[in-house]
């Protein structure tokens, strides 16, 4: 599958996906201001290329090291739920595509398939995103299953304290795919409990509890303040992910990229900082890296790719972002990811 731009894939997906699937996947909460701001705000950070730096296009290096993994490029698959909306094999398609492209895949606690099936579908590294159930035994069981299935980090989502749905999806009556279950809680797959019975009163103590239980690094996703990032690191977070949940939760909050530098400065290099929200081009990835992100993550383009071409579509989306980042680095005068700094952006000190 050949991809010229992710906008093309999104347009094709819109013609394939049902109205309900589009409303659930593509749209944001409230008036959609934050959803739009996630894209627009990248334009606040124009790239200023360096010239005559001897950068060799054949050896531009995109590799990064992240929590023990040597990744071929700094683009991850962000967690998102209910992939049955976009492909009949659900997360098997998205995880399989990530594996083909060599990308790290983050499995959602709200997946259609159980975490074990998702783990088997990808040949690449994988993290598991956990929600915290009101029944601590349910949470414990799922976390231990994730460790046993080979997931190498747990992503604690701090920004989703209830279902995130667009007005359009609610007006349609919230029609989830027929026969869909939340795979990690399905007793047919060894699960138990009610996925929707989530504990919302999360605290910093949950970071240490998850880390102690699993022995795995904990990534705290949903950080939008520097002070919250510092607190999370002090409580044991191995990484923080700047995210507003793709504009699916609270509307009216800043774009993720708008607060990225604040979070980066707050942690002072003590842990990796990731970013998701609005990534559609290689120049977006470059800007995030220049602002201090170790890597970025994307979700909606992955789902659009799955809708259009299954695993092959997902791989093509990731490979297009990778190739665009390579091209941007060459033209911006940066040989390696480590050479990308704030000095690559207009009006920002190196």
Tens of pLDDT, residue by residue over 111-135, are 999 999 999 999 999 999 999 999 9
Q: Let me know if residue 350 belongs to a domain.
A: no
Q: Supply 98's token pair.
A: 């990530």
Q: DSSP secondary-structure letter at 184?
A: G
Residue among 155, 180, 1, 162 at smallest CA distance from 78? 155
User: Which helix (H) or strand (E) covers residue 295, if one does?
Assistant: strand 295-298
Q: Let me know if residue 80 belongs to a domain.
A: yes
pTM: 0.96
Tell me what pLDDT residue 2 has. Answer: 87
From the centroid of its chain, how far is CA 247?
A: 13
Q: Supply 335's token pair.
A: 């040989």
* pLDDT tens digits along 227-268: 999 999 999 999 999 999 999 999 999 999 999 999 999 999
248: CATH: 3.20.20.70
User: How many domains does the chain divide into?
Assistant: 1
Could you say which of 69, 83, 245, 327 is catalytic? Answer: 245
CB atoms within 10 A of CB 7: 13
Q: Supply 314's token pair.
A: 């997902």
Judge whether 337 and 61 are in contact, CB under 8 Å.
yes
Q: Let me know if residue 320 belongs to a domain.
A: yes
Judge whether 249 and 232 are in contact, CB under 8 Å.
no
Q: Let me know if residue 24 belongs to a domain.
A: yes
Q: Supply 67's token pair.
A: 């929590």
Tell me what pLDDT residue 278 has. Answer: 97
> Rounded to 10 degrees, what is the CA torsion of 209, 117, 62, 153?
10
Instruction: Tell me: pLDDT of 350 over 70.
Output: no
Residue 326 among the catalytic residues: no
Q: Let me know if residue 349 belongs to a domain.
A: no
Mean pLDDT along residues 27-50: 97
Q: Let me know if residue 265 belongs to a domain.
A: yes
Q: Let me know if residue 1 belongs to a domain.
A: no
* pLDDT tens digits along 71-91: 999 999 999 999 999 999 999
* pLDDT tens digits along 283-309: 999 999 999 999 999 999 999 999 999
Find the domain containing 186 and state its range: 6-344
Q: Among the listed ranges 198-202, 209-213, 282-286, 288-292, which one has the minimum average pLDDT value?
A: 198-202
The strand pairing partners of 107, in sequence order, are 128
Q: Let me know if residue 238 belongs to a domain.
A: yes
């Amino acid at each position: 599958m050949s991809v010229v731009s992710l906008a093309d894939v999104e347009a094709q997906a819109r013609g394939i996906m049902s109205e309900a699937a589009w409303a659930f996947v593509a749209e944001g909460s409230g008036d959609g201001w934050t959803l739009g701001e996630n894209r627009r705000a990248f334009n606040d950070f124009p790239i200023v290329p360096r010239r005559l730096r001897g950068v060799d296009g054949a050896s531009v290096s995109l590799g990064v090291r992240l929590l023990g993994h040597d990744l071929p490029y700094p683009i991850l698959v962000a967690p998102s739920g209910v992939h049955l909306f976009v492909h009949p094999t659900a997360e098997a398609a998205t995880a399989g595509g990530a594996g083909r492209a060599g990308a790290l895949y983050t499995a959602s606690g709200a997946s259609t398939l159980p975490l074990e099936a998702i783990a088997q579908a990808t040949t690449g590294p994988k993290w598991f995103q956990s929600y915290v159930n009101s029944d601590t035994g349910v949470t414990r069981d799922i976390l231990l299953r994730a460790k046993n299935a080979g997931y190498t980090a747990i992503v604690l989502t701090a920004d989703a304290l209830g279902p995130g749905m667009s007005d359009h999806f609610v007006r349609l009556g919230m029609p989830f795919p027929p026969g869909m279950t939340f795979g990690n809680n399905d007793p047919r797959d060894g699960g138990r409990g009610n996925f929707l019975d989530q504990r919302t009163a999360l605290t910093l103590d949950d970071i240490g509890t998850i880390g102690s239980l699993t022995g795995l690094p904990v990534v705290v996703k949903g950080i939008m303040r520097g002070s919250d990032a510092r607190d999370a690191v002090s409580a044991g977070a191995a990484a923080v992910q700047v995210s507003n949940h793709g504009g699916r939760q609270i509307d009216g909050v800043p774009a993720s990229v708008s607060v990225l530098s604040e979070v980066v400065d707050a942690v002072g290099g003590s842990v990796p900082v990731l970013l998701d929200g609005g990534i559609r081009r290689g120049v977006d990835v470059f800007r995030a890296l220049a602002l201090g992100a170790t890597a970025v993550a994307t979700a909606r383009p992955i789902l659009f790719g799955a809708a259009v071409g299954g695993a092959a579509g997902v791989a093509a989306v990731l490979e297009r972002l990778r190739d665009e980042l390579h091209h941007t680095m060459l033209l911006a005068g940066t040989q390696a990811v480590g050479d990308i700094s704030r000095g690559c952006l207009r009006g920002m000190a190196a």
